[in-house]
Structure formats: C-alpha cells, structure tokens
Amino acid sequence: MIQIHCPYCGETLPELEFAYAGEAHIDRPESPSAQTDEEWAEFLFMRQNVKGPHFERWRHVHGCGRFFNAVRNTITDRFYTTYKAGEPRPDLATLLEEDNK
Amino acid sequence: MSKHISSLAPSVVVDTAAARVAVSQMIGRISLRARTNENGGDLAAVGKAIGVALPTQIGGRAKADGIEVACLGPDEWTLLVSLEQIEKVEDALAALYPSLPHSMTEVTGREVTLTIEGPQAAELLSIGAPRDISSIKVGQARRMLFDGATVVLWRDSETSFRMDVWNSFASFLATTLETGAKELAAELA
C-alpha cells in the first residue's frame, strides 16, 4: 500500500485514509462573469494529464480532513513531497535531485 | 438536545479472553471548529469558557471535570461532555461567538461509543484499521478509518480504547469487533 505523508498531521499514513482531489494550483478566475465560454471551459475542464511528476491535491478525508498538495510520479506512484495548501509550488528540479540521492 | 433513535443500547457486545467490547452509556458530544482570527479572537478564550484548554496538536487530548476534548484537525475538535453540563458548555461557547466566530454543533445523537479493552485490544483493532495502532500513543486520540467507516479512536491505556462511531455504522462495526474478538480468543485457546 502507498504511504502518504500528511503535512498537517505530520504522520505518514496508508493511502486508504486519503482521497485524490485532482490537479493542484488551479486558480478560480476572480470574476467568472467576465470570462468567455472558452476561458471558463478551460478553467473547468482542461487539465495537463501529466505523465511523470504531477502536482496534485489530496485530502486526508479519514483523518484531519484537510486538503493538501503533493508531487507524485504518475508512472511509478512515488510521492516526492507533500505540502500544505496555499504554500508555493516547490521547485521540481530540486525535488527530483533530492530524490535521486 | 438531539434525540438518539437508532443507537445501540448500552450493553456488552462480546467478552472473551482476548478482548471485551461494550457499548457505552450515552454522553454529550459537541463538534467544534474554530481558529484564531485577525480581530483578536483567540483559542485561549475557548479554553477559559469551557474550563479546559484546547489541545493544538492533532491527536492531542485534554480533560477536566465532566469534559474531554480531542483535537481532530488543525481547526477541529470533538468535545465529550457529561449530559448535565452540555447546555452550560454550549451557552459558554455561544457567548464567545461575537469575538471568536466559530462553528459549534451538538452531535450527541450522531455517535455511539464502543469500549474495547483486553490483552489483545490493539490486535483486535488492527483487523479493521489500515494505520498502525501502535502509532497512537496512550493518552492520544485520532480520527481514522476502521473497516470502511470513519471513527475517532481514543487510547486510554496500552490495552484499552474507546471508539466513537456514527450510529449508522455502529452495529456493523460491533459485529466486526465481535467476530474478531472471538477469533483471537479461539487462537489463544
């Protein structure tokens, strides 16, 4: 089973306690009514569908209940890091380098 | 106070050499969500109002006369309060609302507590919990998964636990624990 580190609980726990919640760092447009249909559809539906390291949201649904962000390799399922919601996107090159050590 | 309609009645579910599982007496429950705000509202004020300081570490617990608190999330607590005191606690929290806006919900009728104790209590819990039970230290509590349902597990000693479960899952989880306790006892024999 995959073990995921919850940045709020500070514990590494089984995947079963967590729920995947889609791609991370997608900002809702400030004024939706000013958006064209194409821009709105882009925000709602279009995702990167990354093969490899992916920035994504998870929720510790059977625990503290918090949403947080993670960087996971979609091929190997390896989690490079997890961090609290609202924190800046970590530098991917640094993460991969640290992981290779 | 919300009425309990379909709760399990207080009784012993199973009593074997491995573990004893019982349904506890009804107790008052409050779900509290709050956080320190920019206008000077402080969580310490909650502690003063209810008579016990809120633990801030997830899994932390605090206890005073007739009231017990566990921290479930960064801004979420569950309060177990004796039925005589629950209205007083609710009033004290409501009085705080103007200075510290928060969400306080009385959920007495939502859950029932199972007590699990005995030499193999921790092993019994491991049949339904994906997480390592030994990672929950004595004197802590956690919200976690048990056999598909979200529960709050309180560890009171190495071999005694309390499990708060929602009514709708209670009889199912009690059956799981009953089966497990019997199997563990059969292995001992």
CB atoms within 10 A of CB A15: 15
B2/B121: higher pLDDT: B121
For chain B, percent of residues with pLDDT exceeding 90: 87
pLDDT in the model for residue B8: 86
In the predicted structure, residue B3 carries a pLDDT above the cut 70: no
The residue among B87, B106, B72 whose CA lies nearest residue B4 is B106
pLDDT in tens, B19-49: 999 999 999 999 999 998 887 778 999 999 9
Q: How confident is the model at residue B5 (pLDDT cuts 50, 70, 90)?
A: low
pLDDT in tens, A32-78: 999 999 999 999 999 999 999 999 999 999 999 999 999 999 999 99
Quick check: is A53 in a domain?
A: yes
Quick check: is A7 in a domain?
A: no
Q: Which of A15, A17, A18, A87 to mutate to test the interface with B (most CBs of B within 10 A)?
A: A17
**ipTM for the whole complex:** 0.88
Between the CA of residue B35 and those of A23, B39, B62, what are the distances in Å? Answer: 28, 11, 18
Check B73 against A66: CB less than 8 A apart: yes
Quick check: is A32 in a domain?
A: no
Query: If you average pLDDT over residues A84-92, what whole number do you get?
Result: 95
In the predicted structure, residue B1 carries a pLDDT above the cut 60: no
Q: What is the mean pLDDT of chain B?
A: 93
pLDDT in tens, A17-42: 999 999 999 999 999 999 999 999 99
Q: Tell how far CA B141 is from the center of its chain.
A: 7
Q: Does A63 touch chain B (CB under 8 A)?
A: yes
Query: What residue has token string 């009425």?
Result: B3
pLDDT in the model for residue B189: 79
User: Which residues of chain B make contact with A11, given a CB cutoff of 8 A?
Assistant: 135
Check B131 against A66: CB less than 8 A apart: no
Shortest CA gap B76–chain A (Å)? 8
User: Which residues of chain A make contact with B59, given a CB cutoff of 8 A?
Assistant: 9
Q: Which residues form the domain of A65?
A: 16-27+40-100
Q: Which CATH number covers residue A73? A: 3.30.2270.10
Q: How confident is the model at residue B4 (pLDDT cuts 50, 70, 90)?
A: low
pLDDT in tens, B63-120: 998 999 999 999 999 999 999 999 999 999 999 999 899 999 999 999 999 999 999 9
Domain boundaries, chain B: 11-188
Topology (CATH level 3) of domain B11-188? Gyrase A; domain 2 (3.30.1360)
Shortest CA gap B89–chain A (Å)? 24
User: Which residues of chain A make contact with B150, given a CB cutoff of 8 A?
Assistant: 61-62
Q: How confident is the model at residue B122 (pLDDT cuts 50, 70, 90)?
A: very high
Report the amino acid identity of residue A22.
G
- Each residue of A31-60: b (16+ CB within 10 Å) or e? eeeeeeeeeeeeeeeeeeeeeebbbbbbbb
> How many Cα atoms sit within 13 Å of B71 on the Cβ side?
22
Quick check: is A73 in a domain?
A: yes
- What whole-number distance in Å separates Cα of residue B14 and Cα of residue B12? 6
Q: Does A5 touch chain B (CB under 8 A)?
A: no
CB distance B141 to B152 below 8 Å:
yes
Quick check: is A2 in a domain?
A: no
pLDDT in the model for residue B6: 63
Q: Which of A12, A13, A61, A87 to mutate to test the interface with B (most CBs of B within 10 A)?
A: A13
User: Which residues of chain B make contact with A19, given a CB cutoff of 8 A?
Assistant: none
Interface of B with A (CB under 8 A): 58-59, 72-74, 76, 130-131, 135, 142-145, 150
Looking at the DSSP assignment, which residues form a beta bridge with residue B64? B67
Number of domains in chain A: 1
CB within 8 A of B185, min separation 6: which ones?
B16, B17, B18, B19
